[in-house]
Amino acid sequence: MGVVLVVEEVDRDRLLGTSILEQAGYQVLPVASAEQAFDVLNMRTPIDLLFTEITMRSDTHGGLALARTAVQIQPTLPVLYTTGQGVSVEMRTLFVPRFAFLGKPYRPRDLTQAVANVFTIFRGL
């Protein structure tokens, strides 16, 4: 179905997202930080979607900086952002071109539908 790089510093949230996506048939590469995600991206591992928390408090890079760098490495990579925090209009100007957003908390169906929508919308663009 596709390879999803899940970047989430909160163990419970990372495990939940990973479990939901694996049960839906996706191959998941879960990491706890932007730095770990950079390692995966720099290995040139084929990734079909970046699913990242926007605000990672224990990380020197947040999800926005991660997404911008990821898209430089893989220009057609779509990004699905998530956060339990509000997202301002100003913050949205920092999003990459191919993005979607899913607020927390989300239900399993919400996540699988958001991922399916991203693949439908951005595949082939």
Is 55 part of any domain?
Answer: yes
Domain extent for 115: 10-122
Evaluate whether residue 3 is within a structural domain.
no
Other beta carbons less than 10 A from residue 65's beta carbon: 14
Q: Flag whether 21 is in a domain.
A: yes
Q: Is residue 5 part of a domain?
A: no
- The string of pLDDT tens digits covering residues 31-61 is 999 999 999 999 988 899 999 998 877 656 7
- In the chain, the number of structural domains is 1
- Beta carbons of 33 and 56 less than 8 angstroms apart: yes
| pLDDT score, position 122 | 83
Tokens of 116: 């399916």
- Give the CATH number, domain containing residue 78: 3.40.50.2300
Query: Within the chain, how many helices (H) and strands (E) appear?
Result: 5, 5
Residue 1 lies in a domain: no
**45-102 tens-digit pLDDT:** 889 999 999 887 765 678 888 998 999 988 899 999 998 776 655 555 566 678 888 9
- Give dist(CA 52, CA 123) in Å, integer: 19
**CA separation for the pair 114, 4 (Å, rounded):** 12
pLDDT at position 27: 97
